[in-house]
Structure 1
Amino acid sequence: MGAMDRIESALETALARGESPSGPPLLMQALRHAVFPGGQRIRPKLCLSVAMACGDDMPTAADSAAAAIELLHCASLVHDDLPTFDNADTRRGKPTIHKAFNEPLAVLAGDAMIVMAFQVLAKGVVGAPERLVRLIEIYSEAVGSPNGICAGQAWESEPTIDLVEYQRAKTGALFAAATEAGAAAAGYDNAQWRVLGEALGEGYQIADDLRDIAADPEKLGKPVGQDAANGRPNAVAELGVEGAVARLKRLITAAVDSIPECPGRDPLRAAILEETGRFLPKNLARQAA
């Protein structure tokens, strides 16, 4: 199977495991609404790409790691869209969970997906305890405090926000986890892969800030102008459009240059350059060329 087929299959297996005639039907519907159909699946694709570059000697571990990080990402989106945070009406071109269902189910669905992510790892990597321990460490740090996505969201409640720390936690944490987890799932030293994820994460956040002021909301699948409306720090506000685009180009170069030696280094470089080429709306992509 190709990477996307592997990801979708692993996610379907995870969701099916969480469904039962004895469970609350609306929660199960909310979970499926949050996960399917997905977006670009950037983080799990990155995870699998690194695993494959490292030899992919245990596909069940790599598939589990990829599914787990997408579940963590989906959980963060559901919580981020809540009225207490972004108060967004749409996500991935359809109503957000609290709009399609209600706020309590949105909170619970996000919580359930975080737990489900670790269940996926426990079942899929059980035959390799050393890899399982590393994956649990990688993902727990990427989600929690002091530098995970929960911390990133918490920065929005501080009177003064450090843009770099805020974006490194809110967006970069899962990208760094994706590259580290891909290596760990394939039995490689995960630490040397962190730089790649951090650079891609910061680059993606800058691209997201640019999309927030330049993209078509219908094509983007979510509202634009959210940073300005919610008074959040933004790379475009700090650097200007040209400065943000220039910073993005430098980060992509740093990312591909940081890839450690591995059997699939060259194909991975090519895949990352192709994927990052889709980060920006067309009008800004021309400016970045």
Structure 2
Amino acid sequence: MDVVTRIEQALDGAVREAESSGAPPRLAAAMRHAVFPGGARIRPRLCLAVAKACGTEDYPTAFAAAAAIELLHCASLVHDDLPCFDDAAVRRGKPSVHRAFGEPLAVLAGDALIVLAFETLARGAVAQLPALLLCVGRSVGMPFGIVAGQAWESEPRVDLARYHRAKTGALFAAATVGGAAAAGVESDCWRSLGEKLGEAFQVADDIRDVAGDPDDLGKPVGRDAALNRMSAARELGIDGALDRLDLLVAEAADSIPRCPGGAELRTLIRLEAQRFLPKELVRVAA
């Protein structure tokens, strides 16, 4: 069975826990709408790739960590789409959760997915639970997690790299640190890889917001300009943002700690980077 199928099964099993008999049916439906069908599942695949590179034999723990990280990502998308933030009508090619179920249920669905992520860790990652709770928790909250990243949008001034590290890099760092922790090896040395990849992904997202096709992306474009939001493409220009992306991908590949599967992981990262951009710009990320 391929990795993506197993990720989908792990996520489905987690969401089914929230759909148990007696649960509010519309809230349960809103949670499922937020998780399925998913996007590229980049974060859980990265978590599992790091665990494999570190030589893990504890795949249940790795899959629990991967599923928890993806549930947190889905929760962040639900909240990010709300009228008080992006007011996005579409996500992953279908109505955003607040458009499909209303704003109150969208807020609650995002909250419930956050809690479900930690329940998933507690059920499936017993051996490495303390380390995983710490690394995943810090990737979400304050002072450097995705909540802080979203909050930077409400500040009058912010350093772009700091904003990207929190808004996007923090959950990528959880994937790399969490994958190593699931393998039972020293994990903090994997943080730089996740932060670099997360920043690269956010720079690419900024570029897609300017140069991407909304049908291909499954969400509107031009939102950064419409919301007067900080963006690598707006600050550096397209060419400068592409140069920044190229540098970050190279730095990410170079930052991989010594491990049994390091060469394979390095190749995977370079190949995955090609998926970050519109097809006509792929050459820069290669």
TM band (smaller chain): over 0.9
The aligned counterpart of 1:110 is 110
TM normalised by structure 2 equals 0.98
Deviations 1:92-112 (A, max 9, x none): 000000000100000000000
Deviations 1:199-235 (A, max 9, x none): 1011101100000000100110000001110111110
The aligned counterpart of 1:239 is 236
Task: Decide whether the 8 Å contact of 2:144 with 2:170 is kept in 1.
Answer: yes
The aligned counterpart of 1:99 is 99
Q: Match of 1:53, as an amino acid?
A: A
CA distance in 2, matches of 1:155, 1:260: 31
Task: Decide whether the 8 Å contact of 2:273 with 2:285 is kept in 1.
Answer: no
Give the drift of 1:21. Answer: 2.3
CA distance in 1, matches of 2:235, 2:24: 46
Unaligned runs of 5+ in 2: none
Q: Match of 2:13, as an amino acid?
A: T
Give the drift of 1:287. Answer: 5.3
Q: Is structure 2 residue 178 aligned with structure 1 residue 163?
A: no
Task: Decide whether the 8 Å contact of 2:270 with 2:285 is kept in 1.
Answer: no
The aligned counterpart of 1:253 is 250
Identity rate of aligned residues, in percent? 62
The aligned counterpart of 2:27 is 27
Over the aligned positions, Cα root-mean-square deviation in angstroms equals 1.0
CA distance in 2, matches of 1:268, 1:238: 31
- Runs (4+) of structure 1 moved beyond 6 Å? none
The aligned counterpart of 1:278 is 275
Q: Match of 1:186, as an amino acid?
A: A
The aligned counterpart of 2:80 is 80
Give the drift of 1:162. Answer: 2.1
Quick check: 264-273 or 201-210, which moved more? 264-273
The aligned counterpart of 2:172 is 175
Give the drift of 1:153. Answer: 0.6
Give the drift of 1:288. Answer: 5.4
Deviations 1:31-64 (A, max 9, x none): 1100011000000000000001111211110000
Deviations 1:140-189 (A, max 9, x none): 10000011000011111112222121111001100111100000001011
CA distance in 2, matches of 1:284, 1:274: 14
Quick check: 15-24 or 58-67, which moved more? 15-24
Instruction: Pick closer, same or farther for the CA change 1:132–1:232 going to 2, 3 Å.
Output: same
CA distance in 1, matches of 2:54, 2:281: 33
Q: Is structure 2 residue 180 aligned with structure 1 residue 154?
A: no
Unaligned runs of 5+ in 1: none
SS of 1:174's equivalent in the other structure is helix
Q: Match of 1:107, as an amino acid?
A: V
